[in-house]
Amino acid sequence: MFARDPQTGRVKTRLIPALGEFGAATLYRLMLRDTLQIAGNTPCEHRELWIDRTDPDPQLIGLAQARALKLKFQVGTDLGERMQYALASALDDCDAVVLIGSDCPEYQTGYLEAAFAALEHHPVVIGPAADGGYVLIGLCQPQPMLFSDMPWGSDQVLNETRQRLQQSGLEWFELASLHDLDQPDDLARFPHLLARARVPSRPDD
């Protein structure tokens, strides 16, 4: 699992115009807690939480430890390098690995279990995101070509990934499409999450 240290002003910055710095960070912490719980409940041999800072919030360290996730630190100059490094590192010890983020409120344990099941028959599994990216990727061996020079953050990531897989002759399996929560327009899809976080949907609410 990839995550950011949930410091106010550093996370969910695209939501700050709608929620403010504190509101955006509060919402991210809730999503992070939920995703950590789902990851912790998913049957697998090893669980790792890859953080973007080497000095994360002690509370985050405690949450990871409580859910049996080993804390690791992301390595690389961009998202692709960081993902490739983490996946390759995990594949040194495992036959299959699934990588998720912390921006998708629709994750369920069954979804992650389905990803591992797909890797029993396919070398790659993808969980598409409705915005044109993906919320999950799983591999049975390193695939650097899926992570270099990728237009991260755009709506072309999923299509570009499919094209590269097709060009390489690799079969892959796609799970059901899920929704990320990245932009202010996404907030209307998750009113229950805003309510749990006690975050208003507009600064003047």
Q: What is the pLDDT of residues 82-141, one digit of tens each?
A: 999 999 999 999 999 999 999 999 999 999 999 999 999 999 999 999 999 999 999 999
How high is the mean pLDDT of the chain? 93
Is 50 exceeded by the pLDDT of residue 169? yes
Q: How many CB atoms lie within 10 A of CB 203?
A: 11
Q: Are 87 and 98 in contact (CB under 8 A)?
A: no
At residue 61, the pLDDT reads 87
Per-domain boundaries in the chain: 2-197
- The whole-number pLDDT of residue 3 equals 94
Query: How many of the other CB atoms lie within 10 Å of CB of 117?
Result: 13
DSSP per position, 97-138 = EEEE-S--TT--HHHHHHHHHHTTT-SEEEEEBTTSSEEEEE
Class assignment of domain 2-197? alpha beta
Residue 202's pLDDT band (cuts 50, 70, 90):
low
Segment 62-90 mean pLDDT? 93
Question: Given a cut of 50, is residue 203 above it in pLDDT?
Answer: no
